[in-house]
Amino acid sequence: MRSLALKIILVSFFCFYFVIFPQQVKAETAPLRIAVAANFYPVLEQLLTEFQKVAKLTAAPNIQLISAASGTLYQQISHGAPFDVFLSADAIRPQQLVDRQLADASSLKTYAIGQLSLWSANQAVDSLAVLSAKPSEQNKLAIANPNIAPYGIAAKEVLTKLNLWQSYKHKLITGININQTFQQVHSGAVNLGIVAKSQLVLNNLQGFDIPEHLYTPISQQLVIINNTKQAELAQQFCAFLLSAPIQQKLALYGYHSPLLYNQKVAELITAEQ
């Protein structure tokens, strides 16, 4: 009888707790879901261990990385995907989420500036001269989709400024994101590609860094989603990524730190005056 009474009391307690404090329970068990642009995914994977130590995450909530093209992630968030933080490969889509009141305007920050490299797995590339060879069925160029992928948009700018877009536009092999483009070149399926410098750095490969005056800076921005269930942890993660030590590490991964990049640009402008 006592055992039955004890069970009734315990069941009543847990029912009361979950009814009165459902949000607290949900927040404590929900993972931190980070939607990350394909180009930054391998870097973020390496940084997560350090963040977990800094945040002292020894148990739940765990951290989930969802990687895809920025445009794809934007659409998913627009349709209610349960993400907490969005790391885009551009500045357009995070701003659009803010404008639509789907993301926190105060959290909108540039976390990295991407760079482009010209690379081939079959030959050494030490200049842009290799692009001057007439495109053919055997001599195609791989770039990320210039309609949806920020690195593809930048690659199109490069070809346009070199007066090569008309020659290449029907001979392009386009990946849905920059990771697919890298794989197309890495496998040898396509002889030459415009890829992210970070991909070469992470794989100890050597390509030719495309001069940055040929394309608009690839400002990669982050934003916290309004319906996050892990607001405090999301803020902590963003602060970690924007911290000086982590920003300095970005150069080791083939990115510019926004702070150092802006200082560099300011110095160049001053020198020209």
Over residues 156-203, the pLDDT tens digits come to 999 999 999 999 988 899 999 999 999 999 999 999 999 999 999 999
Q: Where are the beta strands (DSSP E) in the chain?
A: 32-37, 63-68, 85-87, 109-114, 116-119, 141-144, 172-175, 192-196, 208-209, 218-224
Q: Where are the beta strands (DSSP E) in 80-121?
A: 85-87, 109-114, 116-119
Residue with more model confidence, 102 or 28: 102
Report the distance separating Cα 246 and Cα 241, nearest Å: 6
What is the pTM (predicted TM-score) of this model? 0.80
**What are the residues facing 219 on neighbouring strands?**
113
**CB neighbourhood size of 45 (10 A):** 13
Tokens of 91: 């500045």
Over residues 211-243, the pLDDT tens digits come to 999 999 999 999 999 999 999 999 999 999 999
Residues of the chain by 3-state class (helix, strand, coil), percent to 5: 50, 20, 30
CA distances from 52 to 38, 123, 237, 256 (A): 21, 40, 9, 24
